[in-house]
Structure 1
Amino acid sequence: MRLDKFLKVSRLIKRRTVAKDVSDQGRVLLNGKEAKPSTDVKVGDTLEIQFGQRTLTVQIERLSESNRKEEVAGMYTVLKEEARKRDNEEPFL
């Protein structure tokens, strides 16, 4: 399955065009390497997606061409979710 389609079907990103744009900008890593929207994903692959100041790392558990809202939960497992600190941000004292 294509990366952009997986991101849309799994509801990690709402629209396929947005998933394509995010991938084109180099904000999606597949198994540690930058991935294009047309890259094939497989069960067991690890995705790292950068959303603004937040990075989400997930492992693909299941592939499906289409899903209902209730079925999305089993498609991936969240491995790590972290907020990136801004470079010019000082710690709050």
Structure 2
Amino acid sequence: MNYRIFTEAGAKLRIDKWLWAARFFKTRSLAADAVDKGHVRIGGASVKPAKDVRVGDLVEIEIERIVWQVEVLGVCEVRGPASVAQTLYAETAQSKVKRQLEQERRRTYREPAADMHGRPTKRDRRIIDKFSGGD
């Protein structure tokens, strides 16, 4: 299949469609939802799903509390394979470092409540109160 990628300066596409085509989200509706919730910013400003993203724009995307800062290199109307999607953007060096640090922190840091399921038992409650200085 032929994937037409537009890289000229005037090329533009809806942000929700671009996020979907660049494979940041599995569906357009998930991309639009993230934009509506303020997890996507163009040039530092929150936008709506119909906002056009242009080649050269700096887009900030927050997915599961990991922030990607990417520069738009091209726009494509259709969603293609990952190899094609990766040509649509370039991640900033600062973003790569921050993202790798966050992934390493998540690998080594264990959430204290990860072993707990549901509400604490009476015994768990006593232990929590003992450590937190409660009565």
Alignment TM class, shorter chain as reference: 0.7 to 0.9
* Secondary structure in 2 matching 1:8: helix
TM-score (norm 1): 0.83
**Structure 1 spans left out of the alignment, 5+ residues:** none
Instruction: Give me the whole-angstrom Cα distance separating, in 1, the residues matched to 2:67 and 2:85.
Output: 20
1:4 matched to 2:16? The reply is yes
- Tell me the equivalent position of 1:77: 90
How many residues are treated as equivalent by the alignment? 85
Residue number among 13, 37, 53 corresponding to 1:25 in the alignment: 37
Give the structure with higher Rg (CA): 2
More helix by proportion, 1 or 2?
A: 2
1:61 aligns with 2:73: yes
Task: Give the superposition deviation at 1:53.
Answer: 2.2
Q: Distance in 2 between matches of 1:54 and 1:15?
A: 19
Q: Alignment identity in percent?
A: 31
The superposition leaves residues 1-37 of structure 1 with CA deviations (integer Å, 9 ceiling, x where unpaired) of 1000000011011110000110100111101101111
Pick the aligned partner of 2:46 from 22, 34, 57: 34
Q: More strand by proportion, 1 or 2?
A: 1
Q: List, as ranges, runs of 4+ consecutive aligned residues in structure 1 with deviation greater than 2 Å.
A: none
Unaligned segments of structure 2, at least 5 residues: 1-12, 106-110, 112-135
Distance 2:18 2:40 in 1: 12
Q: Does the Cα contact within 8 Å between 2:56 and 2:72 map onto a contact in 1? A: yes
Q: Which amino acid aligns with 1:75?
A: L
Amino acid at match of 1:44: G
